[in-house]
Structure 1
Amino acid sequence: MIRYNLRCERGHTFESWFQSSASYDSQVKRKLVTCATCGTTKVEKAIMAPRLGGGTKSRPRRIAAAPAFTIDPPEGGSA
């Protein structure tokens, strides 16, 4: 499935999902894609921002262990 941001001839924007880019092309050609606001079939793909952080799962980032601190006993005294 692929999601497209679409814009109609009147400037309304909306999104729709398609099986493939070929499916989108076929449906637009047959005037099956309509604007949800005004109903026109004259629609085109709008500019889309890239989707970041999606798709593949990333490995968890390893965090370095903090150094251990030791406390020295006071000099010359009993603890």
Structure 2
Amino acid sequence: MSSIQAIVVDPQAAGRLAIREVERPTSTPSEALVRVYAISLNLGDVYKVSMGTDGDRLGWDLAGIVEQAAADGPGTL
């Protein structure tokens, strides 16, 4: 899979939010790769919507499954 769906800032969309196909993220050796099933947008995300640029991805709070543990650690987030 080379792309995923993400909630992104889109200045042309109503509410400045859109769901788009984006490039699949890659992880660094200290990061785990997580398949996300749910996110929530919190106050920080809402602020970023108003200040963000086209394509910024949103959603820090998430629920998912670790698909690839961190190469240099136990895979904890």
Q: Same fold (TM over 0.5)?
A: no
Higher relative contact order (CA 8 A, sep 6+): 2
- Normalised to the residue count of structure 2, the TM-score between the two structures is 0.29
Q: Higher strand share goes to which structure?
A: 2
Rg larger in structure = 1
